[in-house]
A = this chain, B = another copy of it.
């Protein structure tokens, strides 16, 4: 039996908790209450991990948040699937907005986008700087998708979509239900053809 990957056991005492399960719970907590709204004591209790084990596994609260963000960004909004090259820009971006609206309102305890909601003002600048790369990556993805067909309109179009996604996320946080949010997403998508026109 060949060791595929993580099967080889490390040397010391084995970890007593499931790391992936811990990350999932941590993501739910951060999404529900934000970085500052979740204390290490909260995490320790809800994940069932005592502080020393917590710090051994994640280095710090910021370290855990970084790993949570990484997971979230890879699983939340399937940007690459929606923004398929060759697809009509206006239609694809409208689809993106509507899909985002659905996701943002889907889970009552995790409304909005974890990345977009991690923004100033915050008591701590750690979460904001941790989330920044994902915001710029999302912007770049949208811009490059538009640039393939409308290079001169790529930046303003990406800016507009940034505004709309941020707005949808904020109102999802406010408690809007999926229908209301999706309706607003569709209404806002009507601005897309104009910004994409030469």
Asked whether, in the complex, the Cβ of B122 is within 8 Å of the Cβ of A174, the reply is no
165-192 of chain A: CB within 8 A of chain B: 165-171, 173-174, 176, 180, 183-185, 187-191
116-132 of chain A: CB within 8 A of chain B: 116-124
Q: Is A36 an interface residue (CB 8 A)?
A: yes
Q: What residues on B are CB-neighbors of A121 within 8 Å?
A: 31-37, 117, 120, 173
In the complex, A31→B120 CA distance in Å?
10
Number of copies: 2
Q: What residues on B are CB-neighbors of A163 within 8 Å?
A: 164, 167-168, 170-171, 184-185, 188
Q: Is A160 an interface residue (CB 8 A)?
A: yes
24-60 of chain A: CB within 8 A of chain B: 31-37
In the complex, A159→B179 CA distance in Å?
12
Of B33, B168, B176, B190, the residue contacting A123 (CB under 8 A) is B33
Q: Is A63 an interface residue (CB 8 A)?
A: no
Q: Binding site of A, secondary structure by majority: helix, strand, loop or mixed?
A: helix
In the complex, A45→B173 CA distance in Å?
33
Asked whether, in the complex, the Cβ of B171 is within 8 Å of the Cβ of A123, the reply is no
Q: Is A73 an interface residue (CB 8 A)?
A: no
In the complex, A184→B191 CA distance in Å?
10
Taking residues whose C-beta sits less than 8 angstroms from the other chain, chain A's interface range is: 35 or more
Known: A166-B170, A195-B187. A159 touches B135 (CB 8 A): no
In the complex, A184→B156 CA distance in Å?
7
Asked whether, in the complex, the Cβ of A180 is within 8 Å of the Cβ of B159, the reply is yes
Q: Is A144 an interface residue (CB 8 A)?
A: no
| A165 nearest CB neighbor, chain B only | B167
Instruction: List 18 A–B pairs whose Cβ atoms lie within 8 Å, in order of A's numbering.
Output: A34-B120, A34-B122, A34-B123, A35-B121, A37-B123, A117-B120, A120-B173, A156-B184, A159-B171, A159-B187, A160-B184, A160-B188, A162-B167, A163-B164, A163-B167, A164-B188, A166-B170, A187-B194
